Structure 1
Amino acid sequence: MIKKFIYAFKFAFLTLMFLSQHAVANPLMGAWEIAESKWNNEKVKLPEPRAVKIYSAENFMYSYYDISKPEGVLIGQGSYVFSDGNVSETISNHSNKELIGEVYKFEISFSEDKSTFSQTVMFGENKLDEVWRRLD
């Protein structure tokens, strides 16, 4: 009985250590809400409800409004890699089927307290600057 307890305790302890190290190593994990957006350096009025993006250990999911059609919400999902402030997202499912398979690479910078991050994504000649605020 004591051996089972010790094994269970060791397993729980090691699991918690792994999860806490993984969260520290990847501050992107969690739920985020769009706070600011600029398209080609012009501020964009954010529609309500705000766009949300959720990062798990290897996958992400997001909702957003196409600025040319703000009445419609678009939803995307895929995998991502985060390393040294660089993100590479691969779209594997999207409400706009033309985006499936697209890869977006961009650099992000976190605020000191990790409660927000900024990113710039290029779409050909067009530039999208965004600030995301942590929800959890």
Structure 2
Amino acid sequence: MIVLINLASIQDKCDPPPEGRLPDATKGSDHLRDVFGHMGLSDKDIVALSGAHTLGRCHKERSGFEGPWTPNPNIFDNSYFKELLSGDKEGLIQLPTDKVLLEDPAFRPLVDIYAEDEDAFFADYAEAHLKLSELG
């Protein structure tokens, strides 16, 4: 499956999202469900959207954390889930909100599925991303 995003319609914003729109990276599964649940997103949506961490990196000045989640942070694939399952590695970051995906009994099976089946991840990510983007 190929996921197409019209980058021409995306504009960088100077201001961060309103407080509460993004989860606190130091908190657990209840916090993730609270933040995303207020937006009408499910557990499946939470885990699928977390897979976007396959791209990019954390910046200490913005989040207090530093580093990429995957060895190839310019490629959108299911490597975030594979790295999550393989444990901590030097040079890669796993936030508390990432690790809770392994600890929570509802989140963990989805991590396992997405690590094994990239097409399932792509399909669920596209659905969750659409829901999120429709919120504005």
Higher relative contact order (CA 8 A, sep 6+): 2
Task: State TM-score, norm by structure 1.
Answer: 0.24
Larger radius of gyration: 1
Higher strand share: 1
Higher helix share: 2
Task: State TM-score, norm by structure 2.
Answer: 0.24
